[in-house]
Amino acid sequence: MSTHSTAAASAGHPEEPAGPVDPASPSPQPTRSVGDLVRAAVSGWLGTALEFMDFQLYSLAAALVFSEIFFAAGDPGMAVIGAMATYGVGYVARPVGAWYFGRMGDRIGRRKVLFYTIVLMGMATTLIGVLPTYGQVGLLAPALLVLLRLLQGLGAGAEISGAGVMLAEYAPVKRRGLVASLVALGTNCGTLFASAIWAVLLVVVTEQQLFDWAWRIPFIASALVMVFAVWVRLNLKESPVFEARDDVVEGEAVGTEEVETGEAPVEAQEFAATRSLTVKSVAVAFLLRFGQAGNSGMIQTYLITFMTVFLLLDKQLSTDVVIISSVVAFATVPGIGLLGDRFGRKTMYMIMSAIGVVAAIPCVLLIVSGATWQVIVGYVVLHNIGVMSLASMENLALPEIFGAKNRYQATGVVREIAAIVATGATPVIAAALVAATDSWIPVAVIIMFFSACALFAAIWMKEVAGRDLTDPNPAM
C-alpha cells in the first residue's frame, strides 16, 4: 500500500527499456512535470557543486594559509601536517554520513535528507570563514576547525550519492544517463569556481591582507550558493520512485516494529521481506567505484605532484592542464551519459575502462616527454577517460544496481568506502614506488590497475540500464 497516484510515470514519460535490456513492467509512479525534473537536476547539480567547492576551498586554504593561521605553535613542518590532517578528517567522516543519512533517506525520503545535507555542509563551510585564529584563542581554533570539517564530511558523504539517486529516480528511463551526468558536472563546476575565487584573491590582495582577513572571503561567500541550493530544494518534490514504494505510507516508510508485529499493510510486509543486498551487487558497485576513485587519486592528485616534483615541469603548466581538462569534461560527461542511454551502462563501462587500460602507457609517456602540447594531450585523455567518463556512469549505474529498499544507503556507503580505500592509499603508494624506481612506470601501471578493476566489474555485471527502479531487490 502506498500513497502514490497510479497515473503517468516519472516526469510525464512512460517507463520504457533503454539499451539492451527488457525490464518487467514497472510499478506505476506519481506524475512529475518537466519543471519538476528541471528542479531536481538543478538541485543535484548545485549540491554537488557546493560539495566540491567546499572541499576545494579548504584544500587550497590548507596549502596557502591554514598552517600559519590555525597551527602556528611550534615547528612549521608540523603545522603543515596539522592542516593536511584536518583536511583528511572530512574524508574520514564521509562513510559515517553516507550510512546515517542514507539510512534516513531510505526511510523518510530523499528530499528531506538532501535538504539536511546541503544545510549541514553549507553552514559548516560558511562558519569556517568566521572562526577565530590560533593567535586569538590558541588550541580552541584548530579544535573548532576539526569539528566543522567533521560536519562538512558528514553532509558530503550523503550528498553526491543522494543527488545521483534522486536524479536517477526522477529521470525518464531513456534519458537517465544524461540527467544523472549533471551530478558529475557539478564536481567540475565546484572545483573551478573555488579555484577561480582563490586565483582572484591572490591577485587583488597583499599577502598580509590574505593572512589577516581576506582568507575568510571564499568561505563566507559560499553561503550564497548554499542559500540558492536550499531555496531550490524547498521547492522540490519527492522522488516518484520513493513515493511508489509499497512500504511508503503518507510519505514515510513503514517502521520495522509495525512490520514485525503484522500491523503494516500486506504490501509493506512483502516489500520488507525482499532481499536488501547481494554479494555480487556490492562487489560490482565497489569495484566500479574503486576503479574510478583510484584513477581520480592518481590523475587528479598524484599526477600533478609527479609533473612538478619528479619531472620538474613548470607549475603553471600543471595548473593549465587541470583547467583545460576540466573544460573538456563539460562535453565528455554528458556525452558519455547519452551513450550509456543508447548502448547501456555495461557496454560503455567496458569500452571506456578498456581504453583506460590501453591508453595509460602512451599518455604517461606523452606527459614524461615534457613538451607542452604532449603533456596537455596526455593529461586530458587520462583525466577524461579514466576519471570523468567513469564518474558520469557511476552516478547512475550504482543507484540502478541497488534496489529501492535501501538504494540511498547502499549507494552512499559503497561509494565512500571504496573512495577512502582507493584515494587514501594510492598517492602514497605511487610516490613511494616512483621514488624507489626513479621511473614513470609505476604511474602507468597503477592507472592500468584501476582501469582494469572497473573493466573486470563491467564484464561481471548484469546490464542495469532501463530497469524498474521501484523493484526492491538489487539488480544482480
* Higher pLDDT pick, 315 / 80: 315
The pLDDT value recorded for residue 87 is 64
* Higher pLDDT pick, 95 / 90: 95
10-21+30-272 under CATH 2.30.30.40, yes or no: no
The pLDDT value recorded for residue 378 is 97
Beta bridge partners of 248: 253
pLDDT tens for each residue of 211-228:
899 999 999 988 998 899
Q: What distance in Å separates the CA atoms of residue 378 and residue 293, rounded to the nearest whole number?
A: 19
Q: How confident is the model at residue 81 (pLDDT cuts 50, 70, 90)?
A: low
Q: How confident is the model at residue 8 (pLDDT cuts 50, 70, 90)?
A: very low
The pLDDT value recorded for residue 2 is 44
The pLDDT value recorded for residue 261 is 75
Residue 457 has pLDDT above 50, yes or no: yes
CB neighbourhood size of 39 (10 A): 18
* Higher pLDDT pick, 100 / 181: 100
The pLDDT value recorded for residue 85 is 67
Across 181-190, 250-259, 281-290, 332-341, least confident range: 250-259
Q: What distance in Å separates the CA atoms of residue 282 and residue 417, rounded to the nearest whole number?
A: 11
The pLDDT value recorded for residue 308 is 81
The pLDDT value recorded for residue 331 is 94
Average pLDDT, integer, range 12-41: 59
Residue 181 has pLDDT above 80, yes or no: yes
Average pLDDT, integer, range 128-139: 91
> Options 3.30.70.20, 1.20.1250.20, 3.40.50.410, 3.40.718.10; which CATH number does 279-460 get?
1.20.1250.20
Q: What distance in Å separates the CA atoms of residue 474 and residue 239, rounded to the nearest whole number?
A: 18
The pLDDT value recorded for residue 73 is 57
> Phi and psi of 248, rounded to 5°?
-95, 120
Fold match between domain 10-21+30-272 and domain 279-460? yes
CB neighbourhood size of 266 (10 A): 10
The pLDDT value recorded for residue 18 is 42
The pLDDT value recorded for residue 424 is 72
The pLDDT value recorded for residue 245 is 87
Average pLDDT, integer, range 273-291: 93
Across 10-19, 372-381, 382-391, least confident range: 10-19
* Higher pLDDT pick, 28 / 156: 156
Across 51-60, 228-237, 239-248, 422-431, least confident range: 51-60
Across 33-37, 310-314, 367-371, least confident range: 33-37
Q: Answer for the pair 26, 470: CB distance below 8 angstroms, yes or no.
A: yes
- Give the angle subtended at the CA of 430 by the CAs of 428 and 434, to the nearest 5°: 120
Q: Are strands 252-253 and 248-249 parallel, antiparallel or unpaired?
A: antiparallel
Q: How confident is the model at residue 288 (pLDDT cuts 50, 70, 90)?
A: very high
The pLDDT value recorded for residue 11 is 39
- Residue 119 CA from chain centroid, whole number: 17
The pLDDT value recorded for residue 398 is 94
Q: Exposure pattern of 435-466 as b/e (b: 16+ CB <10 Å)?
A: eeeeebebbbebbbbbbbbbbbbbeebebbbb
The pLDDT value recorded for residue 3 is 43
Q: What distance in Å separates the CA atoms of residue 243 and residue 238, rounded to the nearest whole number?
A: 7
Helices of type H across 62-175? 67-69, 76-108, 110-128, 134-137, 140-170
The pLDDT value recorded for residue 52 is 81
The pLDDT value recorded for residue 295 is 94
Q: How confident is the model at residue 191 (pLDDT cuts 50, 70, 90)?
A: confident
Residue 274 has pLDDT above 70, yes or no: yes
Average pLDDT, integer, range 129-154: 90
> Phi and psi of 74, rounded to 5°?
90, -150
Rg (CA), the chain: 23
3-state helix, strand, coil in the chain (%, to 5): 75, 0, 20
pLDDT tens for each residue of 303-344:
887 888 888 888 778 778 888 898 899 999 999 999 999 999
Sign of the CA dihedral running 175, 176, 182, 184: negative
| Sequence spans of domains, the chain | 10-21+30-272, 279-460
* Higher pLDDT pick, 60 / 393: 393
The pLDDT value recorded for residue 390 is 95
Task: Report the chain's mean pLDDT, rounded to a whole number.
Answer: 85
Q: Answer for the pair 386, 450: CB distance below 8 angstroms, yes or no.
A: yes
The pLDDT value recorded for residue 76 is 64
